[in-house]
Each structure stands twice: as C-alpha cells, then as structure tokens.
C-alpha cells in the first residue's frame, strides 16, 4: 500500500508540476491565434499542382477524388481566419481550440496528399491539448464570464506525445546505423544536400568543406539520437523535460542551418511548457522542500 500511495502522490505532484500559469498561458493563446491569422501557412499552391501528382496516403483524405479546387482553398482560408479570431477572443475556448486543430490538420492533410510531408503535426495538435489545459483561463471572454483555471494533466499528455514523437524519429536512426562508430550519418546527409539539393542550409557548404574531424561529425550523430530519444525518460522530471526542449531547440536550429529544414512552428509547442507560475519555476525544489517540512521532528525537545 505504501508503494501505491507513493505512486499516487508522485502522480499528483507530476500533474501539478506541469500546470501552467494562467496569464503567460493566455499570452501564448493570443500569439498563436495572431500568428495563424497574420502569418498563415501557405495553401494557395494546392489548387495549382497538376492532378496527376495527387496521391493521398491511406486515410480520410484518400476518399477525396482529386486535389482541392481554388474555391475550396479560398473557403478553407476564410474558415481558418474565422477560427483564429474565435480563439483570439477566447469565447468557448475549448471548442475554439479543437476547431483550430481540426482546421490545421485539414490543411496539412490536403498538403500531404501530394506526398510532401512536413514536420508540424505536433503544431497542428497542440491547440487541442492547450484548450483542455486552460489557455483561455485569462484574458478571454471565458474568463470574464466565469472563473476558470489551468490544468496540468493535458500538459502531461502533451509531454508524453512529444516524447513519443521524438522517440519515433530516434529509433529508426539507431536501427539504420547511426550508432555505428564507423558511419557518419549527419555528414552524409549534409553532403547530399550540398551536392544534390534541392536546398542546403546556409552553413552546409562551410561545414562539409571546413570540418574534417570524424569525431566531431560522429558526435553530431550521437547528439541527435540523445536529443530525440531521452525525452521519454526526462518527462518524469519536469525540469529535465524543459531542459530537453531547450536542447531540441538547439538541435532544430542546427538542422535548419545545415539542412534548411525549419522547425519554427514547434516553438509554439515547446513554449507551452515554459508558462510557469513564479512560485513553481523548479517544481522539484518545491517537492523536496515540502518533503523536508513534512518530516516529524526527532529532537529531544519535540519528543517531550
């Protein structure tokens, strides 16, 4: 029973450690909505690609007989803008968040139907998690109508989702030889981009022509596997998980500079975990402090 009680207490603490502060969380909602409204992802090309390139993967989009027409694209853009405004004002924020994710997923699904898959599925799904976590708890019409609060359990689920997503990127690399000391996978892919394209990062040519150290190139392979793979363990210690997200940002910047692959939209996903209350910036310290204060005194004075 003691073990079960300890696990239950740890579970409750973990949820509280992932609970965001209402006001910075609301700022994230507003910035997210404004970004979708002002700097939306381009979908105008969907109606301009020849129909013979339309080859959707298995799933709901495979039921659509052909690519989206210009009218469909315009309607989609209008709906996306309306939903972004809905999320911005924070009226029935949970419903607006779910609608936002659905709209973003539809846009991605239409784009993926031309066999071009990007890296923003986490960005598309994030509004659902943050809606349940309560990013409408401040500076919203919902907050004016009723008292709401933020919740940590949806954030814990988002952390698990991110960790599993990154693990699915790390495991295939490990299985295909990235752990092999004799193989320099990062160097190979950067060199392919430099010599065969289609695009290479601004530092790619300099990296391949200047850095000749096998040890350095191999260390980039191991760093990639670590950055993507360790989050499944770090998520049980929220501060380590947040440090892991910062490490991922550095990794994404490196990938962009070397291979011109942008992960910018993932910043919205990671930012949610840094909307912290001032009194719980490092939740592990608070936990240890409470544990120390809750211990019974064993001094002679206390015994008497």
Pick from 117, 109, 114: nearest CA to 50: 114
109 vs 146: CA distance, rounded Å: 36
Sequence-separated (6 or more) residues with CB below 8 Å from residue 44: 73
Which pLDDT score, from 0 to 100, does residue 239 have? 96
What distance in Å separates the CA atoms of residue 127 and residue 131, rounded to the nearest whole number? 6
Does position 298 have pLDDT exceeding 60, yes or no?
A: no
Least confident of 44-53, 220-229, 242-251: 44-53
- Please give the full DSSP string across 10-39, using - where no structure is assigned: HHHHHHHHTPPPHHHHHHHHHHHHHHHHHS
Q: What pLDDT does 295 receive?
A: 60
pLDDT over 70 (residue 217): yes
Q: Is the pLDDT of residue 212 over 80?
A: yes
Mean pLDDT of 155-171: 96
Considering Cα of 39, then 90, then 138, then 9, what sign does the dihedral take? negative
Task: Please compute the mean of the pLDDT values over residues 30-46 and round it to a whole number.
Answer: 95
Q: Is the pLDDT of residue 281 over 90?
A: no
Q: In terms of pTM, does the model score above 0.75? A: yes
Label residue 250 exposed, middle or buried (CB < 10 Å: 0-12, 13-18, 19+): exposed
Q: Domain map of the chain by residue range?
A: 14-147, 152-284
pLDDT of residue 12: 94
CA distance 80 to 63: 22
70-117 pLDDT, tens digit per residue, is 999 999 999 999 999 999 999 999 999 999 999 999 999 998 888 776
At residue 290, the pLDDT reads: 65
Average pLDDT over residues 166-176: 95
Task: State yes or no: pLDDT of 303 exceeds 50.
Answer: no
DSSP letter at 62? G
Q: How far apart are the first and last CA of the chain?
A: 31
Contact between residue 93 and residue 132 where contact means Cβ atoms under 8 Å apart: no
Confidence label for 16 from pLDDT (cuts 50, 70 and 90):
very high
The verdict on whether omega for the bond into residue 25 sits within 30 degrees of 0, i.e. cis, is: no
Quote the CA–CA distance of 181 and 221 in Å, as a whole number: 9
Is the pLDDT at 198 greater than 80, yes or no?
Answer: no
CA atoms within 13 A of residue 243's CA, in its CB half-sphere: 10
The band of 297, judged by pLDDT with boundaries at 50, 70 and 90, is: low
**Pick from 251, 254, 255: which is nearest to 228 by CA?**
251
Q: Are 203 and 258 within 8 A, CB to CB?
A: yes
pLDDT reported for residue 304: 40
What is the C-alpha to C-alpha distance for residues 93 and 103, in angstroms, rounded to an integer? 15
Residue 139 DSSP label = S
Give me the pLDDT at residue 200, please.
Answer: 86
């Amino acid at each position: 029973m003691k073990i079960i009680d300890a696990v239950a207490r740890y579970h409750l603490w973990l949820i509280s450690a992932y609970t965001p502060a209402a006001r910075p969380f609301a700022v994230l909602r507003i910035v997210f909505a404004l970004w979708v409204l002002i700097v939306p992802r381009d979908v105008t090309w969907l109606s301009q690609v020849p129909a013979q390139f339309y080859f959707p993967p298995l799933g709901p989009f495979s039921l659509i007989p052909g690519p989206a027409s210009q009218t469909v694209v315009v309607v989609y853009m209008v709906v996306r803008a309306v939903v972004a405004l809905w999320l911005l004002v924070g009226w029935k924020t949970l419903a607006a968040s779910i609608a936002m994710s659905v709209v973003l997923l539809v846009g991605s699904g239409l784009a993926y139907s031309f066999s071009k898959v990007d890296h923003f599925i986490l960005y598309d799904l994030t509004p659902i998690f943050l809606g349940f976590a309560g990013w409408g708890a401040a500076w919203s019409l919902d907050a004016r109508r009723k008292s709401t609060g933020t919740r940590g359990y949806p954030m814990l689920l988002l952390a698990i989702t991110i960790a599993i997503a990154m693990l699915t990127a790390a495991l295939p690399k490990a299985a295909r030889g990235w752990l092999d000391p004799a193989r320099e996978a990062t160097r190979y892919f950067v060199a392919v981009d430099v010599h065969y394209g289609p695009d290479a990062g601004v530092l790619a040519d300099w990296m391949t022509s200047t850095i000749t150290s096998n040890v350095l190139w191999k260390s980039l392979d191991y760093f990639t596997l670590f950055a993507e793979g360790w989050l499944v363990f770090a998520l049980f210690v929220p501060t380590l998980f947040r440090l892991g997200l910062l490490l991922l940002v550095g990794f994404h910047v490196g990938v962009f500079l070397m291979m011109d692959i942008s992960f910018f939209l993932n910043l919205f996903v990671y930012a949610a975990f840094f909307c912290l209350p001032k009194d719980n910036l490092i939740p592990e310290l608070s936990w240890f402090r409470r544990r120390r204060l809750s211990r019974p005194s064993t001094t002679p004075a206390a015994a008497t």
